[in-house]
Chain A
Amino acid sequence: MEGQLAHIGAGLAAIGSGAAAIGVGNVAGNYLAGALRNPSAAASQTATLFIGIAFAEALGIFSFLVALLLMFAV
């Protein structure tokens, strides 16, 4: 029973991946919108883009990790 609850918890934690996907999409979309308005400034901001994506994605990875922990380690 407890193991099954852990699996349900893992599934719930996996929702976090979707949230992270929204975040990453937001970052990339806004970058693209800005880059199309001012293409000359776009190249200098790719590093910022990747840092932003990395931070947004890290939280999704955390939820993935929680899911894995619930699946395998609890």
Chain B
Amino acid sequence: MATDITKVSSHNAEAAASAPGMPQLDFSNWGNQIFWLLITLVVIYLVLSRIALPRIAAVLAERQGTITNDIAAAEELKAKAVEAEDAYNKALAEARAEAQRIVAEAKAEIQADLDAATEKADAEISAKAAESEKAISEIRAGALESIKDVANDTAVALVAALGTQAKEADVTKAVATRMKG
């Protein structure tokens, strides 16, 4: 088909030499255009294949390498960070356990002190209570004696008032018997 166009147009180009035709089909300058095109392509090819493309490929490879290295370094740093966090957590847990131990110890100490104090206080209180009881019983005994005396005296007085002389010993005996009953 290309040859068809060529044939048709070459016949036309002669006709178009005088009349304004399609400039693209003016075959008299095809040789010139093809010549310069080939030079252009060869120059571009040499520039690209010798200088530009190897350079860009090198830059891209280098960048890929740098990125890979950076990623590796970042991963390493990340591992380190995780390690540090673990250490921190461990230290935190240890500190917490220590604190708990100290708290428990202090609590136990305080409890012991408290118990001792309570015991001492209890002992003191019971001693005081015993003393007081003793005093009270003494007082009670005193009181009984006094009642006996009063009763005796009253009985003697009553007997005397009735006009009889009674023996004091008898009265006392009688009062004691009466009071027991």
Residues of A at the B interface (CB closer than 8 Å) are: 68-69, 72-74
A9 to chain B: closest CB distance in Å? 15
Give Cα distance in the complex from A68 to B22, angstroms.
8
Residues of B at the A interface (CB closer than 8 Å) are: 8-9, 12, 15-16, 20-22, 25
Given A69-B22, A73-B12, A73-B16, 15 more A-B residue pairs with CB atoms under 8 Å apart are A68-B22, A69-B8, A69-B9, A69-B12, A72-B16, A72-B20, A72-B21, A72-B22, A73-B8, A73-B9, A73-B15, A73-B21, A73-B22, A73-B25, A74-B12
Given the complex, which residues of A lie within 8 Å of B9, measured CB to CB? 69, 73
Give Cα distance in the complex from A70 to B152, angstroms.
172
Given the complex, which residues of A lie within 8 Å of B20, measured CB to CB? 72
B26 to chain A: closest CB distance in Å? 10
Given the complex, which residues of A lie within 8 Å of B25, measured CB to CB? 73
A7 to chain B: closest CB distance in Å? 14
Give Cα distance in the complex from A73 to B9, angstroms.
7
A43 to chain B: closest CB distance in Å? 22
Can you sample 6 A-B contacts with CB below 8 Å?
A72-B20, A72-B21, A73-B9, A73-B16, A73-B22, A74-B12
Given the complex, which residues of B lie within 8 Å of A73, measured CB to CB? 8-9, 12, 15-16, 21-22, 25
B91 to chain A: closest CB distance in Å? 49
Give Cα distance in the complex from A50 to B12, angstroms.
35
Give Cα distance in the complex from A27 to B20, angstroms.
38
Residue of A with least CB distance to B20: A72
Residue of A with least CB distance to B25: A73
Give Cα distance in the complex from A73 to B14, angstroms.
10
Given the complex, which residues of B lie within 8 Å of A74, measured CB to CB? 12
